[in-house]
Structure 1
Amino acid sequence: MTDWLEIHRGEAPLVVAFPHTGTQIPPELEARFASPWLARKDADWWIDQLYAFARDLGATTVRTRLSRSVIDCNRDPSGASLYPGQATTGLCPTESFDGEPLYRGEGPDQAEIEQRRIAWFDPYHAAITAELARLRAIHPHVVLYDAHSIRSHIPRLFEGELPQFNIGTNGGATCDPALAQAVQSACAASGLTHVLDGRFRGGWTTRHYGEPQNGIHAIQMELAVRGYMAEPADPTPDSWPTELDAQPAILPILRQVITACLAFAKGHV
């Protein structure tokens, strides 16, 4: 653990990664952003708290405390788009999901982006790599679950209302079909909307680590935030973020999802 990187080690064959829950901004960078609120607006709010139960089940968790506006640990470090032809944000975003400029002036140049990558992106992924290797040495199969959330309505990114559960496997390439089916079944049983490989097919983390033929099964879950916190129609500094619900509606379903991931990893031979 460092001042910005949290690692909680478990022995079960499951790693839960949190690349976007952080809100820390280094002091030397904060003044360059248009506002502290805007630089934190697109965080995956409260997701690490929502999944805290996973550690009690033996899961390992890896989390960066840094804001995704500083460095997005779920983007291709080469700068290549994960969703060609669709609106998205980069390794060091210069605009919010809604298209608002994040910086007062110019954003980071290539040299600064490279410095941020070396300082923060690389250590975060080195931690994931090390934890997967540690667990893979004692388990034939390990699941990497990349945990995310996003507002339900962001017209710049997608039309209409996002399904409650958005499962990503990059078209089935990143995990065994049985894992995707188990997670999808848990979501379907909730009666809430869900989709497999819809708008969010899995980011760089899922695509980079998913090697089912080598015993690493990666899957992404993008939650619509309405399932665990109040969601204003028009987020402002006065209305966003809201608090984590005292009894999140989707928490029982997430417990079933994580339990299904563990059952798959332990039973898949």
Structure 2
Amino acid sequence: MPADLDAHLVADADLDPDFAPAFVVDAPARQSAPVVFNAPHAGDVYPASFLAASRLAGLSLRRSEDAYVDALFAAAPALGAPLLRARFPRAYLDVNREPYELDPRMFEGRLPGYANTRSMRVAGGLGTIPRLVADGHEIYARKLAVAEGLARVDALYKPYHRALRRLIERTHGRFGLAILIDCHSMPSSSVAREEMGLADIVLGDRYGTSCAPVLTDAVEEALRRRGYVVARNKPYAGGFITEHYGEPAARRHALQIEVNRALYMDERTLVRRPGFPAVAADLTGALADALPEVAAALGPAQPGLAAE
């Protein structure tokens, strides 16, 4: 493991388990676009209590992390839009799930009756509190107390979604329109194949239900113009966030963007590739082209909405 990654984990291990803060909003001085960016899986703060409870260490524990995705989309404020980014890691708590998708195999004691213990994601070990990292290894050396799991939902999941909902509602209230860009990365081994080869980017719009077609079309075209191979909905159609916040009939649109990790980092060492700045610039440029076009196509605020 590279020394810089060792130092990264050791330094973060000294942070308070409450993360302080759990998430950050990078906002422009004045929001000028009806857009909100979200990076829910880029968190890289691993508190000492989590490291102590895990049977994994170093890179093994970071396999579920969308490493550097917040940096790929860091220019969001320059586009006139806020970027919400988690600091807690996905392996600790996954906000792209229902609040209580919990695996009873992980816990000492009985889960509350409202917990969803039978979802496909729970069966795969990837619930709200994951049992496995992305490569299939068990995270914990012991079972967790039910109270500990519920406390994570209260302390991290619920405040994160309140913040995301507030950003979307404020955007919608100001512009009469809200576009959520949900930012993720994917391992190259999982990417759907096209005739042109491995997809560089997968756009997920829940098969056309989470946003107007013009949004997916415009982003895809802008990325293709920059030479990227783009697929739709396979293997990633969008998760809980895209489904939950995408309400096209209410002028709230959500699109998930999955970027192939091999484009910008070494997937084995998690070290950024020299081409990282170019990928980030291409993403920024594509969205800078597409989003104003989408906002114009979707039209001005409807009468009665508090748009400026």
* TM-score between both structures, scaled by the size of structure 1: 0.86
Alignment: residue pair count: 259
Tell me the equivalent position of 2:235. Answer: 199
CA RMSD of aligned residues (A): 2.6
For structure 1, which segment, 26-35 or 125-134, has the greater mean C-alpha deviation from structure 2 after superposition?
Answer: 26-35
Distance 2:97 2:245 in 1: 13
Tell me the equivalent position of 1:137. Answer: 173
* TM-score between both structures, scaled by the size of structure 2: 0.76
Higher CA-based Rg: 2
Q: Please, which of 285, 303, 306 is the counterpart of residue 256 of structure 1?
A: 285
- Give the 3-state SS of the residue equivalent to 1:191 in structure 2: coil
Deviation at 1:82, TM superposition (A): 7.4
Distance 1:85 1:116 in 2: 17
Distance 1:181 1:85, change over 3 A: farther
Distance 1:247 1:171 in 2: 30
- Give the 3-state SS of the residue equivalent to 1:145 in structure 2: strand
Tell me the equivalent position of 2:21. Answer: 3
For 2:285, give the aligned amino acid. Q
Q: Report if the CA contact (8 A) 1:169-1:180 is conserved.
A: yes
Cα deviation code 1:147-202 (max 9, x no counterpart): 00022015xx9799852101001011100011111111122223332211111000
Distance 1:35 1:241 in 2: 16
Distance 1:136 1:214 in 2: 9
Distance 1:7 1:249 in 2: 24
Q: Report if the CA contact (8 A) 2:214-2:297 is conserved.
A: no
Tell me the equivalent position of 2:38. Answer: 17
For structure 1, which segment, 3-12 or 194-203, has the greater mean C-alpha deviation from structure 2 after superposition?
Answer: 3-12
Q: Please, which of 148, 167, 173 is the counterpart of residue 184 of structure 2?
A: 148
For structure 1, which segment, 2-11 or 47-56, has the greater mean C-alpha deviation from structure 2 after superposition?
Answer: 2-11
Tell me the equivalent position of 1:34. Answer: 55
Bigger relative contact order, structure 1 or 2 (CA pairs below 8 A, ≥6 apart)? 1
Distance 1:31 1:146, change over 3 A: same
More helix by share: 2
Cα deviation code 1:95-134 (max 9, x no counterpart): 111111111222x354432221111011111001111111
- Give the 3-state SS of the residue equivalent to 1:138 in structure 2: helix
Distance 1:88 1:183 in 2: 32
Distance 1:51 1:115 in 2: 30
1:68 aligns with 2:83: no
Q: Report if the CA contact (8 A) 1:88-1:97 is conserved.
A: no
Which sections of structure 2, spanning at least 5 residues, go unmatched?
1-18, 102-115, 300-308
Deviation at 1:41, TM superposition (A): 2.3
Distance 1:103 1:241 in 2: 22
- Structure 1: which 4+ aligned runs deviate by more than 4 Å? 80-88, 157-162
Which sections of structure 1, spanning at least 5 residues, go unmatched?
none
Distance 2:167 2:282 in 1: 26
Deviation at 1:267, TM superposition (A): 4.5
Distance 2:119 2:26 in 1: 29
Q: Report if the CA contact (8 A) 2:207-2:237 is conserved.
A: yes
